């Protein structure tokens, strides 16, 4: 199976429909489709997928980190450097959960992975991200604690 890179897939020829897809379609694929097929392992799988995506995207500075997340419309990030190896990232308007009801369950694993992957690129270290807040746990933003190692 071929490993496709961003350059292989970035050419979009849709003169009538353009590059955008409804966010509802994304959420059906992401929250309903992937979870029902992957079951209990969906969190870990989506996180690893996100990490790979994050590693494929360009980010050399914290400004590029924020700009990439915003440009891809994953959300509006607000990163606070807590200490040398600890970064807290708030994500407003999260692609997956913004507006979601409070179910007490958090599932923005792909976003968590993308954040970790991008921060690995910025800092040249490994990163582990854990989601701590979500619309689906009663907040109006997502939050991730990222540790570099």
Q: How far is the CB of 129 from Zn ion (least distance, A)?
A: 12
Q: How many residues at the interface with Zn ion, by CB under 5 A?
A: 5
Question: Using the rule CB under 5 A, is 74 a contact of Zn ion?
Answer: no
Say whether residue 142 binds Zn ion (CB under 5 A): yes
Cα 93 to Cα 89: distance, rounded to the nearest angstrom: 13
Q: Which residue is nearest to Zn ion (CB)?
A: 94
CB of 93 to Zn ion, least distance (A): 9
Near Zn ion in 87-106, by CB under 5 A: 94, 96-97
Q: How far apart are CA 129 and CA 87, in angstroms?
A: 9
Give the separation between CA 147 and CA 149, rounded to whole angstroms: 7
| Residues linked to residue 91 through DSSP beta bridges, in sequence order | 77, 142
Helices (H), 17-82: 23-27, 34-38, 42-56, 62-71
Judged by CB under 5 A, does residue 114 bind Zn ion? no
Given a contact cutoff of 8 angstroms between Cβ atoms, the answer to whether 121 and 59 are in contact is yes
Task: Round to whole Å and give the CA distance between 85 and 116.
Answer: 12
**One of 34, 59, 89, 108 touching Zn ion (CB under 5 A):** 108
Find the shortest distance in angstroms from Cβ 5 to Zn ion. 27
Q: CB count, 10 Å around CB of 28?
A: 12
CB of 63 to Zn ion, least distance (A): 22
- 148 touching Zn ion, by CB under 5 A: no
Chain residues in the site for Zn ion (CB under 5 A): 94, 96-97, 108, 142
């Amino acid at each position: 199976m071929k490993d496709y890179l961003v350059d292989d897939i970035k050419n979009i020829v849709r003169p009538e429909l353009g590059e955008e897809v409804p966010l509802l379609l994304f959420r059906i694929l992401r929250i309903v489709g992937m979870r029902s097929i992957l079951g209990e392992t969906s969190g870990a799988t989506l996180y690893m997928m996100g990490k790979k995506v994050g590693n494929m995207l360009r980010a050399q500075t914290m400004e590029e980190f924020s700009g990439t997340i915003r440009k891809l419309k994953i959300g509006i990030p607000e990163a606070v450097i807590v200490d040398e190896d600890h970064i807290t990232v708030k994500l407003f308007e999260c692609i997956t959960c913004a507006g979601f009801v409070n179910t007490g369950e958090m599932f923005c694993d792909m976003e968590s992975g993308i954040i970790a992957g991008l921060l690995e690129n910025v800092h040249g270290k490994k990163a582990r991200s854990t989601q701590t807040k979500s619309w689906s746990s009663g907040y109006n933003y997502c939050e991730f604690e990222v540790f570099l190692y």
